[in-house]
């Protein structure tokens, strides 16, 4: 079946512009995660959605970052007034279980964001 998809695959923007990144999770998966990965680094957790519960925003680096998940499916990560340090690959993952330490996450291919 279809995996997690993300769009666009690449985004180049100018400093100060807003960007929106989209994630389509695996159908039926209730949990959705956003991470970012700077060049040569490990993944950094950003935000987590589980069903209709309030999202866990504890990883968002600043108030310029926000995310929403409509209808418990598609999610959009928005970065306002982008800065050069926002340049990274933004990864989305979904899982079918309600979180939990044995949960397996399925990752999308990521969106490479470059802020000039």
Partner 1 sequence: DAKTTQPNSMESNEEEPVHLPCNHSTISGTDYIHWYRQLPSQGPEYVIHGLTSNVNNRMASLAIAEDRKSSTLILHRATLRDAAVYYCILRDVGNNNDMRFGAGTRLTVKP
Per-residue contact flags (x/-) with partner 1 for residues 76 to 105, judged by CB under 8 A? ---------------x-x-----xxxxxxx
Q: Are 25 and 40 in contact (CB under 8 A)?
A: no
DSSP, collapsed to helix, strand or coil, labels residue 7 as: strand
User: 29 or 107: whose CB is closer to partner 1?
Assistant: 107
Of 93, 79, 80, 87, whose CA–CA distance to 113 is shortest? 87
Q: Residue 21 Cβ, how far from partner 1 at the closest point, in Å?
A: 13
Q: Which residues of 11-42 are buried (b: 16+ CB within 10 A; e: fewer)?
A: bebeeeeebebebbbbeebbbbbbbbeeeeee
CB of 64 to partner 1, least distance (A): 20
Min dist. Cβ of residue 23 to partner 1 (A): 11
- Residues lying near partner 1 in the complex (CB under 8 A) are found at 4, 33, 35, 41-45, 48, 50, 56, 58-59, 91, 93, 99-110
């Amino acid at each position: 079946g279809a995996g997690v998809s993300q769009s666009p695959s690449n985004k180049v923007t100018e400093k100060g512009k807003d960007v929106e990144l989209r994630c389509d999770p695996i159908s039926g998966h209730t949990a959705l995660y956003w991470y970012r990965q700077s060049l040569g680094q490990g993944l950094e957790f950003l935000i987590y959605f589980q069903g209709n519960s309030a999202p866990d925003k504890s990883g968002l680096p600043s108030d310029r970052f926000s995310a929403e998940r409509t209808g418990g499916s598609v999610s959009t990560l928005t970065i306002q007034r982008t800065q050069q340090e926002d340049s990274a690959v933004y990864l989305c993952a979904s899982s079918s279980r309600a979180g939990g330490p044995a949960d397996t996450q399925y990752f999308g291919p990521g969106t490479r964001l470059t802020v000039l």
